[in-house]
Chain A
Amino acid sequence: MTLGESAALPERAAPVRATEAPVVVLVGNPNVGKTSVYNQLTGERAHIGNYPGITVEQRSGRLELGGRGPATLLDLPGTYSLSARSAEEQIALDALLGHAGLPLPALCVVVVDAGQLSRNLYLVLQLLELELPIVVALNMLDEVAHNPPSPADLSRFLGVPVVATDGRRGAGIEELKRVIAERLGKPASSGVAVSYPEALVADADRVVSALPAAWRSTPGRDRALALWALASVEPGDELRDVPAELRERCESVRHAAGARDLDRELIAARYACIDGALERLYARVERHPPKRASSERVDRILLHPILGFAIFLGSMLVVFQALFSWSDPAIKVIERLVAWTGTELTALLPAGVLRDLLVEGVIGGVGNVIVFLPQILLLSLLIGLLEDSGYMARVAFLMDRVLRTLGLHGRAFVPMLSGFACAVPAIMATRTMERQRDRLLTMLVIPLMTCSARLPVYTLIIATLFPPSRVFGWVPLQGLMMVGMYVFAIVTTLVVALVLGRTAVKGRRVPLVLELPPYRLPSLRLTLRNMVERAFVFLKEAGTVILACTIVLWALLAFPRPATAVAPPRPASVAAVHATSAEQHLAAPPVHPTAPEPARAESRIGESYGGRLGKAVEPLFAPLGFDWKIDVGIIGAFAAREVFISTLGLVYGVGDTDDQALPLREKLRQETLGGKPRYTPLVGLSLLLFFALSCQCMSTLAMVRRETRSWRWPAFLFAYMTALAYLVSLLVYQGGRLFGFG
């Protein structure tokens, strides 16, 4: 399973639903305020989807154009150039050229940062060469107010309409809409011609005849496509849909060029054209704009070797604290609400399978979903602020040295840190990385972090099976075990990241070229809007999977139903409320209104399909030191890791329980096998390692499925983590026994 393979997925559903409305695409470099222009143009209506099979998100919305009728506005991934290298650039290219089943755009709106004209115009030139109909939105003029480029001059140079816009405040948006409506359906225009070296033009003309028939149109566009192919196609690239003939032609032309550097000729010619124009456009060229200068002053503090790191650690502490503690009150309210609804419904409805399904399956499942909302909302808010202010790029700058030794991107830091609170929002946070390969790799290691749902399980196992003795006479063993689990998680994450980065997600080596945009005041309105959008996407796409899984788990532990429907025990899945911390878990109210009758429950859960499954897999897990009761607990824990405890509680007939409950601890300690305790510290260690490494969390898998839009990556994640957990637990348990422990 390599990245190249995943990029070449055959399923390529057209992301834009077939409508008669013309398609307007929004393109631009990263960090030019494209998203705010998009939001201003579409108002509050936005549809967030994904390009199938890859982690590139696709937004589209309705663009009302007054008398002209509506158009579909498609927001393309930010890109510096069209020489496609990453999945994002390829998507931008496909959408612009109408390849890969995407509709040909009726118009391209290019958002240009007025403070970065030369680099931004590079993309504009490429679009113009491809004879695409273009309107330029000249954005962020407020940052160069002292020496603004004139839209009229720029328009004269490019030969296309240029509208001054302010994406944050909405200025110029109506004018932009008017121009879009006016230009829709009109043929492309261009006033600029890059003068390429003659030899390069001859090379391009030799490539033209190898272009697929479907790509051919006018001579100018054909030549532009040939130049694109010459600059982009190379052995081992990740481009899709490039016919073999075109590949071979590009290779032979490049080979014939000998020592000439075609890339340099092409790129230098474009920049020469831009530089010449800008010199004419500007009365004076300044050293750098004041916005830059003030950013530099801020950077002197934020990137300072000592002060900068202190601020960095402080802000990361805030992010972590927000996820770990500040979301607590909201989570508690949600848990209470779910428990209350369950109780009310139980009282209201007659006993029976329908009531159980509603209360335990549906209400419990909805609870399992919405319990993530506080952390998702908080993390999207914080990431939005970090991103929009420009600080996220500095985090990557500061941490690159550390993370790159693991093959991870500097921007992976915040998502990985979030993984210590909960993997679900953390996986969502991987969007902050530009490259699909970086996102995938980060997503695949985040579930190894010690998330808060593991804490109650660790607490129970350590407190029950390890003696409260002290190491070296003063270090408490139980505390040491807990710290050890964190260290273990960090070390495994590093090792797994190294291994996976060289195997499963082995993308091409792409050198880090990180842009450090000027610091900007984030727009709270846009950030809040993005936060709400994220929450909806989660509810709609991951939520349905989580709900379905909860119902399946409920059924697994509730069926077959006993002949007498007297006080049926509530299976564990309903208790799948998410604990943020051990303390909080303690405080959570009992979800089960009535505790089942102990003896009855024990026999019943053993008879359920889940119980039978636990017994059936007992031989498989016996080498790890687990018996069927633990196996049932592990099955229940798939709803959420801490459900392990309440499932065990049901197995042992102690009713609803938590990690601090003494009856369950006693029962576990009393369990014997051949006169000796059944659960030894060695079994405990094996179980701890199993929980540390296995992906016992359906919500994590649902989130990875949502972010990658395919089942193959969650399947891979589950498979590799379970295999790793099994292997490590097996080695530890069997090795321990060999040395006479347990």
Chain B
Amino acid sequence: MPTDVRHLSELEVGDVADIEHVGGERSFRRRLMELGLVPGTRVELKAVAPLGDPLELLVRGASLSIRRGDAALVRVRPGVKLTAPELEPATRRRLPIAPVRGAP
């Protein structure tokens, strides 16, 4: 993944990233954070709708769909995709903020 990715909307399908900041209108920010997209949470861009919008994200084991325009308001830090075996407890603790994505 290109390292200059700064926003959720710039991810490509399959990319993972950690949320840094949710911007935009207050109601949007709050809704997204309440659904678990708090700073430090890992997200994966799972798919893009056939018409190019909206996006499908994998967050905390759930699929959430948001529009590209809204995703542009979410600042992210590109992450390294980990494979399942690496996600054993020891590895997991080394991550900046323990992502409970996929739990259980």
Residues of chain A having any CB pair with chain B under 8 Å: 80-81, 83, 85, 114-119, 122, 144, 147-149, 231, 234, 263-264, 267-268, 271, 274-276, 278-279, 281-289, 292, 295-296, 299, 303-306, 308-309, 393, 396-398, 400-402, 404, 508-518
A397–B65 touching, CB < 8 Å = yes
Name the 3 nearest CB pairs between A and B, nearest first. A401-B51, A516-B63, A514-B65
Any chain A CB within 8 A of the CB of B54? yes
Given A284-B88, A284-B89, also A278-B34 (CB < 8 A):
no
- Residues of the B chain whose Cβ atoms lie less than 8 Å from the Cβ of A303: 47, 49-50, 56
A511–B66 touching, CB < 8 Å = yes
Given A288-B58, A397-B54, A397-B65, also A119-B36 (CB < 8 A):
yes
- Residues of the B chain whose Cβ atoms lie less than 8 Å from the Cβ of A402: 51
Closest chain B CB from A143 CB (angstroms): 10
15 intermolecular pairs with C-beta atoms under 8 Å apart: A119-B60, A231-B30, A263-B29, A264-B38, A267-B33, A268-B38, A288-B61, A292-B63, A299-B47, A397-B54, A401-B54, A510-B27, A511-B67, A514-B64, A516-B63
- Residues of the B chain whose Cβ atoms lie less than 8 Å from the Cβ of A510: 27-28, 31
List the B residue with the shortest CB-CB distance to A268.
B38
Taking CB atoms and an 8 Å cut-off, the chain B residues in 47-104 that contact chain A are 47, 49-54, 56, 58, 60-67, 70, 82-84, 87-89, 92, 97-104
A144–B63 touching, CB < 8 Å = no
List the A residue with the shortest CB-CB distance to B22.
A264
Closest chain A CB from B72 CB (angstroms): 11
A515–B63 touching, CB < 8 Å = yes
Closest chain A CB from B52 CB (angstroms): 7
Any chain A CB within 8 A of the CB of B6? no
B103–A278 touching, CB < 8 Å = yes
Residues of chain B having any CB pair with chain A under 8 Å: 22, 24-36, 38-41, 46-47, 49-54, 56, 58, 60-67, 70, 82-84, 87-89, 92, 97-104
List the A residue with the shortest CB-CB distance to B56.
A516
B65–A83 touching, CB < 8 Å = no
A275–B66 touching, CB < 8 Å = no
CB within 8 A of A289: which of B27, B66, B104? B104
Given A285-B103, A304-B50, also A122-B65 (CB < 8 A):
no
A516–B65 touching, CB < 8 Å = yes
List the A residue with the shortest CB-CB distance to B32.
A513
List the A residue with the shortest CB-CB distance to B36.
A119
Given A80-B34, A83-B30, also A289-B61 (CB < 8 A):
yes
Cα(A276)–Cα(B101), bound, Å: 13
- Residues of the B chain whose Cβ atoms lie less than 8 Å from the Cβ of A518: 63
Closest chain B CB from A265 CB (angstroms): 10
Cα(A402)–Cα(B58), bound, Å: 23
Given A274-B100, A288-B101, A296-B46, also A512-B70 (CB < 8 A):
yes
Cα(A612)–Cα(B56), bound, Å: 61
Closest chain B CB from A39 CB (angstroms): 24
Cα(A289)–Cα(B66), bound, Å: 22
CB within 8 A of B49: which of A276, A284, A401? A401
- Residues of the A chain whose Cβ atoms lie less than 8 Å from the Cβ of B25: 509, 511
B36–A118 touching, CB < 8 Å = yes
Cα(A122)–Cα(B41), bound, Å: 15
- Residues of the A chain whose Cβ atoms lie less than 8 Å from the Cβ of B52: 401
List the A residue with the shortest CB-CB distance to B83.
A287
Closest chain B CB from A113 CB (angstroms): 9
B61–A275 touching, CB < 8 Å = no
- Residues of the A chain whose Cβ atoms lie less than 8 Å from the Cβ of B39: 264, 268
Query: Can you add 11 more A-B contacts, CB < 8 Å, to A119-B60, A398-B49?
Result: A80-B34, A234-B27, A263-B29, A274-B100, A284-B87, A285-B104, A286-B103, A287-B82, A305-B50, A511-B31, A518-B63
List the A residue with the shortest CB-CB distance to B55.
A397
Given A119-B60, A285-B92, also A264-B35 (CB < 8 A):
no
CB within 8 A of A511: which of B24, B41, B56, B82? B24
Closest chain B CB from A93 CB (angstroms): 14
Cα(A397)–Cα(B72), bound, Å: 18
A400–B49 touching, CB < 8 Å = yes
A275–B35 touching, CB < 8 Å = no
List the B residue with the shortest CB-CB distance to A147.
B104
Given A119-B62, A279-B98, also A513-B53 (CB < 8 A):
no
B33–A264 touching, CB < 8 Å = yes
CB within 8 A of B67: which of A231, A274, A400? A400
Given A267-B38, A268-B39, A400-B54, also A278-B100 (CB < 8 A):
yes
